[in-house]
A = this chain, B = another copy of it.
Amino acid sequence: MTEQTTHQQIAEALDKGDLLTSYRGQFAIPPKLIYLDGNSLGPLQPAVGKKVAETLVVEWGTDLIKSWNKAGWIDLPETVGEQIAPIIGAKSGTVIATDSTSVNVFKTLAAALLMRSDRRKIVSENGNFPTDLYMTQATTAFLGTGHELVTVKDDDALMKAIDEETAVVLLTQVDYKTGRMLDMAKITAHAHEKGALIIWDLCHSAGAFPVALDACNVDFAIGCGYKYLNGGPGAPAFIYVKKELQNQAIQPLSGWFAHEAPFEFDPEFKPAMSIKRYLTGTPPVLSLMALHEALKIWKDVDMRLIRQKSVGLSQLFIQAVEETCEGLTLASLRDPQLRGSQVSFTFDGDGYALMQALIAEGVIGDFRQPNILRFGFAPLYVRYKDVVRAAEILADILKTERWKDEKFNVRSEVT
């Protein structure tokens, strides 16, 4: 960049050349808001609001119980699974929408443990998203058969920890705090070489960049619907199971929706011979319908463009912040190929208060313990000019020390 070229000028040029620019209009981003928190909760598409209203008033209100057939409610878990599959590099019949990510950690972990019943070791990272670790701790405690959860700190330790005693490796592809991305192909191959099964948590991956589950020969994957997939608050999660593994175990949450014929009301459980055996009970239709409608936008999206723009947005943001913001240190890896679609900074003051000040001025990111400011870049609706403006506002807050105002130090439960 020459002295004459400002960040704003770069942003303008990049926005002009953005091949994804038409998608932003399909989202209801409040005017003047710069939303860099789509990695926590993706925004509403007005089409989703319209569809859910129809589900409420027509499907539920007028057609009532008939809508299980007429409006396709009964098939929604599969329908939504098929919509998610291409986004994560999965073939038809391998993905289903169901329950929450936490519940799905249990289902896949339990199924994997049943398939490797001669082994007792589960490997994960200690920086993994807490719910993955909690579910694993609770599962092993429940089983009471001497399973051991080994959590490691870095990539080297991870590769070493995966050995011939390892039953299952459970990893989140993108670290929720720093955005660091693990090498799915390499780690999966290593796990298989040692005879272990692997589960990838895609919460910060699905919709953020191309994921290649089939190509990496992944065994299981799980992820949520409310971040980059924009399915709405607490949208149902999903499960991917490699075709060859699907019928090897009956997972322990086999409720009536996992039966080969739920409406036969058979007292004996006969598992569906498909990904449907990873279902459990009746799905929350309103939330699942919102996710279904939200996913329609992905139909024609080229995931390579998503990745290209994601890298462009994050690099421009890092550049602008580092050149203009005092006291912030990049907490993410500098190489964009080693990151997901988010960037984090640590702050040498009160990071919580700084994020509150930023939010008060219309830039939404989030704060994570102990002192991390996290910014997510969702290429479907974030513009280059947004990230430059966000950095400008951040710089100005730091310069004037507006974050020191005591009103920004009021802690709330969720940030």
Contact = CB atoms under 8 A, between A and B. Distances in A.
B57 A41 contact: no
A250 interface: yes
Contacts of A369: 264-265
B282 A284 contact: no
Among the interface residues A40, A144, A252, which one has the most CB atoms of the partner chain B within 10 A? A252
B103 A253 contact: yes
A248 interface: no
Contacts of A167: none
B286 A141 contact: no
A226 B284 CA distance: 10
Interface in A208-260: 224, 226, 232-237, 250-259
Contact of A49 (B57, B128, B266): B57
A160 to B, nearest CB: 20
Given A56-B48, A100-B255, A110 B40 contact: no
A28 interface: yes
Interface stretch (A65-73, A309-317, A324-332, A386-394): A65-73
Given A53-B49, A232-B286, A283-B234, A265 B368 contact: yes
A308 B61 CA distance: 27
B133 A255 contact: no
Interface residues of A, number: 99
Contacts of A128: 267
Contacts of A40: 65
A284 B234 contact: yes
Nearest to A100: B281
Given A259-B130, A286-B287, A65 B41 contact: yes
A369 B266 CA distance: 9
A137 interface: yes
A23 interface: no
Interface in A282-309: 282-288, 290
A369 B264 CA distance: 7
Contacts of A53: 49, 53, 56
Given A69-B412, A134-B255, A263-B413, A282 B60 contact: no
A149 to B, nearest CB: 11
A60 B138 contact: no
A94 interface: no
A45 to B, nearest CB: 9
B56 A282 contact: no
Interface of A: 28, 30, 33, 35, 37, 40-41, 43-44, 46, 48-49, 52-53, 56-57, 59-62, 64-69, 73-74, 99-103, 105-106, 110, 114, 126-131, 133-135, 137-139, 141-145, 151, 224, 226, 232-237, 250-259, 262-267, 269, 280-288, 290, 359, 364, 366, 368-369, 412-415
